[in-house]
Amino acid sequence: SQTIHQWPATLVQPVGSPLSLECTVEGTSNPNLYWYRQAAGRGLQLLFYSVGIGQISSEVPQNLSASRPQDRQFILSSKKLLLSDSGFYLCAWSSLGLAGTDTQYFGPGTRLTVL
């Protein structure tokens, strides 16, 4: 079965510090990968998606970047965090290879607080 991991689970960082969040998927190959941000009490905003190694598409201009160094690894980074980067970061995967499904499966999330 497929599983998705995210770490760390929680993170408190000062303004101006760098950021690296990691997401890995097990049990599937060539997944589509996604990073979302969820502000407190709000909906999910798609930040980045990737259809393959090294292929990253950005949905919104911002202080963040993403990379996909391996097939099942997706990394969200920032060089200098802003207060507005606080939120709940969710990684998700989907597979166009599975017949009849467009489902995205979400990881457990990382709670980021920038002080």
Partner 1 sequence: QQQVKQSPQSLIVQKGGISIINCAYENTAFDYFPWYQQFPGKGPALLIAIRPDVSEKKEGRFTISFNKSAKQFSLHIMDSQPGDSATYFCAAKKGGYNKLIFGAGTRLAVHP
- What is the Cα–Cα distance from 52 to 39, expressed in whole angstroms? 27
Closest separation in Å from C-beta 89 to partner 1? 10
Q: Pick between residue 42 and residue 79 the one whose CB is nearest to partner 1.
A: 42
Closest separation in Å from C-beta 16 to partner 1? 27
Q: Pick between residue 9 and residue 83 the one whose CB is nearest to partner 1.
A: 9
Residues that bind partner 1 (CB under 8 A): 32, 34, 41-46, 49, 51, 57, 90, 92, 94, 96, 102-109, 111
Closest separation in Å from C-beta 79 to partner 1? 26
Note the residue count of the chain: 115
- What is the Cα–Cα distance from 3 to 84, expressed in whole angstroms? 30
* Residue given tokens 């995210």 in the structure block: 6
- What is the Cα–Cα distance from 31 to 113, expressed in whole angstroms? 29
